[in-house]
A and B are shown apart, each in its own frame.
Chain A
Amino acid sequence: MYKIWMSVVKEFLLLKRDLGGLIILFIMPLVLVITVTLIQDSTFKTVSNTKIQILLVDNDKGSVSKTVFDNLEKSNLFSVVTQIDNKPITEEVAREAVYKGKFQLAIIIPQDLSIDLQTKIDQNVENIVSKIGLSDSSATTKPSKIIKEKEVKLYFDPAVQMSFKNAVMSSIDKMISQIETKSIYTTFQNQLGEENTKFEQKSFITFKEIIPKINNKEILPNSVQHNVPAWTLFAIFFIVIPLSINIVKEKSQGTFVRLLTNPVSNLIVIIGKTITYSAICMIQFYMMVAVAIFLFPHIGLPSLNIEGHLFLMSVVALFSGFAAIGFGILLGTVASTQEQSAPFGATSVIILAAIGGVWVPVFVMPKIMQIIAKSSPMNWGLEAFYDVLLRNVTLLEIIPKISLLFLFFIITTSIALFYDKKKRTV
């Protein structure tokens, strides 16, 4: 025990005197979590509070384009631009402006859309009405005009993200569908000619998001609830870099060789490092949680709500730390130089984060990546954090995930010990 204790003391002294290492361990994660949360939160606010200017080219000049214009104006998302330099916009001008990035979106309403839509609906309704024997005989003798399908064109700035594109397209699609439905109802009304027959045009089916409740309080997910666990985990895994450098340095300084000749097993040395770096992980974690609770409200972000979750979150952080430490020990053992361990450590942590769903949720990934994601320790940690913070689970329910994290630690550390023993051949 004394040897382990002295190893822990030594590791703390080494860390205390390594300013660069301390910055990586404590300052960078805080900068990271504050920056990323601020950016993501402000992006969210931009989408919801600031109107995005879009170009509308109205070649229709009818009721449909007017409805589109009115609906877009009414929405909180967009502000409609129909003129540039006091001149009406043509499709050419709109396309150029959007492709140059001056606007994110242009909507081109085709000529005669309103007239053609109404004609098409009239034809369809008349057809139906005549089939059920309610039609005017003179109307059925008129030859049907052939109406071609109309296309509302959308031009997007190529730099616009796919998620934004999809959201806009879906909202315009919905708007067009509503216009069509309304026109159909109105035409039926007119055809039937009964003034008292009023169709209810409000949506019959609506939806409402039911937000999970903890202790009878609704838990509203926000950028902080999502970002703090994700980036805390990312920071915890960055421990791989100083830890692997620490091990590589011991090899290059010769202290590792000295330890090999001492009556102490490599396991004791590893345990010393594990205890020290686990403590570092926990300090990192509590610092980030403290910042998210106490500092965030002062910089315009929501405070992190950890009510009743701190213990389970600490458990997840500890086991995530173990997984990161195991990876760091393995990397430090296999690498021969700091030039190998530092860039590889940084890159691999970023890859693990990407695979694990820190940046892009796993459920939107391609199938193959979803399978790979399940093998990332960062995914196990992230899911465990979300389980605790957002899904209100119990310790029993996170045991499978934290067991995987611990198993990862055991496997990576065992490989490191085995590799080291093989390499020394004694």
Chain B
Amino acid sequence: MYSLNDFSLNIYDGQIFGLLGPNGAGKTTLISMLCGLVKPTSGHFTINDLNYTNHSLKIKKIIGVVPQEYALYPTLTARENLHYFGSMYGLKGSVLKDKVIETLDLLGLLKFADKRIETFSGGMKRRVNLIAGILHNPKVLFLDEPTVGVDVQSKNAIIDYLKFLNQNGTTIIYTSHHLAEAEDFCSNIAILDRGRIYAQGSPSGLIHSTPEARNLEEVFISLTGKDFRDDV
């Protein structure tokens, strides 16, 4: 993994910001820092003008995090998982219950609400994983590869729901290896490699500014090259 170097980035309210890059580019490190999981060795950042050193709890109240792995209890049902994680955001009573029902319904999972997560398919787990991060209507939502390994239907449901959240005021920062998905979904993109930002702008702007590039994948290859990033 490359550490982040000489790194400066502004993400504005209401954006859907894609962090793209090959393996080891530093995407997960960046997301982990923004979520408060890893402390930068130097430099600083703020979220909504708040920093983790002084306002950790305030930041955690306004952000939502959807990790790459299914961060759910396999032996609990979808509803039990969501009630638990929702309560950790301070939601309770009918507000929590209604929110769980509403989001499960929106993502097509209400009839499976009382089934254990361990019986779910990958796509269903991804959707519950997403719900667990947005129950409290976060101002900023971080997603680390939210559509990896899921079927087309689940991917569409997740992307549609994220667009819906964004239209309702949630700023979205997400990482992905699906460049076509990012091209369609993101309002802004940063292409990272070896811990640095190689380019940033809107998907269409990046395509137009790269000679002979017809899509985001060609922009990506022209900036990061065709070499593997295998490392152990």
Residue of A with least CB distance to B133 = A258
Pairwise interchain contact B72-A253, C-beta atoms closer than 8 A: yes
Q: CB-CB contacts of B48-91 with A at 8 A, as 1s and 0s?
A: 00001000110011010101011111111000100111011110
Residues of B within 8 A of A10 (CB): 73, 76, 80, 84
Q: Name the distance in Å between A14's Cβ and chain B's nearest Cβ.
A: 6
Within 8 A of B (CB), among A216-271: 253-255, 257-264
Interface majority SS on A: helix, strand, loop or mixed? Answer: helix
A84: interface (CB < 8 Å): no
Residue of B with least CB distance to A261 = B65
The one of B36, B73, B80, B92 that contacts A2, using a Cβ cutoff of 8 Å? B92
Q: Name the distance in Å between B147's Cβ and chain A's nearest Cβ.
A: 17
Residues of A within 8 A of B56 (CB): 426
Residue of A with least CB distance to B52 = A426
Q: A13-B76, A426-B37 known; A263 and B69 CB under 8 Å?
A: no
B208: interface (CB < 8 Å): no
In whole angstroms, what is the CA distance A7 to B87 when docked? 9
Query: Which bracket fits the contact residues of B?
Result: 20 to 34
Residues of B within 8 A of A9 (CB): 84
Residues of B within 8 A of A258 (CB): 65, 67, 71, 85, 132-133
Pairwise interchain contact A257-B67, C-beta atoms closer than 8 A: yes
Residues of B within 8 A of A426 (CB): 36-39, 52, 56
Interface size of A by Cβ–Cβ distance < 8 Å? 24
Q: Name the distance in Å between A302's Cβ and chain B's nearest Cβ.
A: 41
Q: Name the distance in Å between A392's Cβ and chain B's nearest Cβ.
A: 45
A70: interface (CB < 8 Å): no
Residues of B within 8 A of A255 (CB): 71-73
In whole angstroms, what is the CA distance A167 to B56 when docked? 68
Pairwise interchain contact A253-B38, C-beta atoms closer than 8 A: no
Residue of A with least CB distance to B93 = A2
Q: CB-CB contacts of A385-426 with B at 8 A, as 1s and 0s?
A: 000000000000000000000000000000000000000111
B206: interface (CB < 8 Å): no
Q: A6-B88, A14-B75 are in contact. List 10 more A-B contacts (CB 8 A).
A: A2-B90, A3-B90, A18-B75, A258-B67, A258-B71, A261-B37, A263-B57, A424-B37, A426-B36, A426-B39
Binding site for B on A (CB under 8 A): 2-3, 6-7, 9-10, 13-14, 17-18, 253-255, 257-264, 424-426
